[in-house]
Amino acid sequence: MLFLCNEEHIFLIKRAEGMPTHGGQIAFVGGHKKHTELNPWDVAQREFEEETNHDRSCIEYLGCLPVVMTARLQPIIPVVAKLAMPTAQFLEEVKSNGEWDDILAYPWDELLKEENWEYAWRHGQESSAVMFHPIKSGSYLPLDKNVKQHLLWGATAHMVWNFLRLYFNK
C-alpha cells in the first residue's frame, strides 16, 4: 500500500464500484507484490505508476509503517511517500487505470481531530479495534466535482491511525 501524502493532504482513492474486492471503499493506491520485486518500495512505485498514470519520480520514499493485518489475516505493508508536486497539479493530471472512481486530497487537519474518530471491537482469533473516520462532504478536494460523504475504515483507517500515533507519539 502506498500511504501517499504531502504537508497538507493525504491522498485516498475511492475504489471502483465494480471491483471484485472492496468496491466503493476508501483505500490507498496499492496492490500485490510481483515475484520480481524485491521490497515494498518497489511494489508501491509500480502500483503508483499503474494506478495514477504518473511517473514514480514524483514520489519520495519516507519509510514504512508497522504491518497491518486485514480481517482475512492478509498482511499489508504501508509504504509512506511524499508527493513531490502540488496537490492541484496532481489532481489535474492523475488518471485512473479503472481500479478507482475518485481520488481525494483529504486535509491532515480533519484527520487530527480526535473527535472525528470512532472505533468498534472485532472479535475473531483475537480482539482488535476497527477504526472509523467519516469523511464529510466538502471537507476534501475530489478529482471530479463529486463531493460525497465517505467512510474511512478498516485496514486503511488503521494505517492512518498508526501513522498519527507514531508521528505525534500518542
Q: Could you tell me the residue ranges of all domains in the chain? A: 2-168
**The predicted structure's pLDDT at residue 72:** 77
CA distance 143 to 101: 9
In this prediction, residues 73-83 reach a mean pLDDT of: 93
In this prediction, residues 41-59 reach a mean pLDDT of: 97
Contact (CB, 8 A) for 81 and 4: yes
**The predicted structure's pLDDT at residue 59:** 98
The residue behind cell 511494489 is 43
Q: Tell me which amino acid residue 132 is.
A: F
- Helix (H) or strand (E) holding 141, with range, is strand 141-142
Contact (CB, 8 A) for 90 and 113: no
Assess whether pLDDT exceeds 90 at residue 104: yes
pLDDT above 90 covers a percentage of the chain that reads 66
**The predicted structure's pLDDT at residue 166:** 85
Average model confidence (pLDDT) across the chain: 90
What is the CATH code for 2-168? 3.90.79.10
Q: Tell me which amino acid residue 88 is.
A: A
- Dump pLDDT digits (tens) for 26-40: 999 998 999 999 999
CB atoms within 10 A of CB 123: 7
Burial class (CB in 10 A: 0-12, 13-18, 19+), 10: buried
pLDDT tier at 135, thresholds 50, 70, 90: very high
pTM of the model: 0.90
The residue behind cell 497491518 is 68
Assess whether pLDDT exceeds 90 at residue 150: yes
Phi, psi torsion values for 120, nearest 5 degrees: -135, 165
CA distance 35 to 26: 27
pLDDT tier at 165, thresholds 50, 70, 90: confident
CA distance 77 to 67: 5
